[in-house]
Amino acid sequence: MRLDYPTNVKIIRVPCTGKVDVMHMLRCFQKGADGVYCVGCLEGTCHYNEGNIRARERVGHVKNLLEEIGIEADRVRMYNLSSGEGPTFAAYAKEMTEHIKALGPNPLKEKLKKAASA
């Protein structure tokens, strides 16, 4: 459908959101990503039965971890849609981008820069 969405969204392909590890999400923040979101199938329609439910739980877990280290928990989110919902995908991409822009840059990024310059 070639629906427009922000260019700062980049997709990392996994076989199922059930394969998205807490470690993967944290690595994104560690390396300077401002936000991370998982897009899974609608709950109840996972090809692998419950991968998206696990992903939702893991996203929740990452939220807690981020909070603990002083990063806004809402920089990580879980979205669900079906493969036929292009417009919804684009809408979520915009929503997430606007949301992250409102939060501002990932605080770790400053530290990364300092570390790099030091």
Contacts with another protein by CB under 8 A lie at 1-5, 7-8, 10-16, 18-21, 23-24, 27-28, 31-34, 47-51, 54, 58, 84-88, 90
Minimal distance, residue 70 CB to another protein, in Å: 20
Give the start-end residues of each E strand in the chain.
Answer: 36-40, 76-80
Minimal distance, residue 88 CB to another protein, in Å: 6
- Cα separation, 113 vs 118, in Å, equals 8
- Cα separation, 109 vs 2, in Å, equals 32
Q: What type of residue sits at position 91?
A: A
Minimal distance, residue 73 CB to another protein, in Å: 19
